[in-house]
Amino acid sequence: MHNEYEINEFVNPKGFGYCFNATDKCKYTLLFNNLGGDKFIFEFDKTESLDKNSINNKLIRDSICKVIYNFITANPERVIFIVYDNADYLDKARYRLFNIWFKHYNKSNYFKKMNILTSKQEIVSIIFMSNNVKFIKEILYKDS
């Protein structure tokens, strides 16, 4: 029994790309676009689906979380940024859903997540490994 869908890697000229086909006849695409060094912006999208309940599909959640987990653990100094438009109700819903997924998948506190509200009314989630000393020092001592 599988806990996630079959995930395929594809060429993304800006970084890394992954996709999977869900049983609800929709395709999920996950992109990690390089911002420089070990920093990546994460984007995910899906093709339209007739199944409005795909949001509750545990296989979709587990597949997306596994891609993120494997991406970061392959290089523990990687940092992922996810940007949500706080004025867009769909993005706010996606933000809340992703927070639920993160809490469910990160029970051992292997990762840390910070959420920042920008002056442009965007929410930026930053995900990194708990033991990423390089990034933690960068945050703590940036203006020192």
pLDDT along the chain (144 residues), means of 10: 82 95 81 96 79 69 91 95 90 88 87 90 93 86 63
Distance separating alpha carbons of residues 104 and 125, to the nearest angstrom: 16
Distance separating alpha carbons of residues 69 and 32, to the nearest angstrom: 13
Residues 101-142 have pLDDT tens digits of 898 888 888 899 999 998 888 999 999 999 998 898 888 776
**Class of 8-140 in CATH:** alpha beta
Q: How far apart are the first and last CA of the chain?
A: 51
Residue carrying structure tokens 């587990």: 62
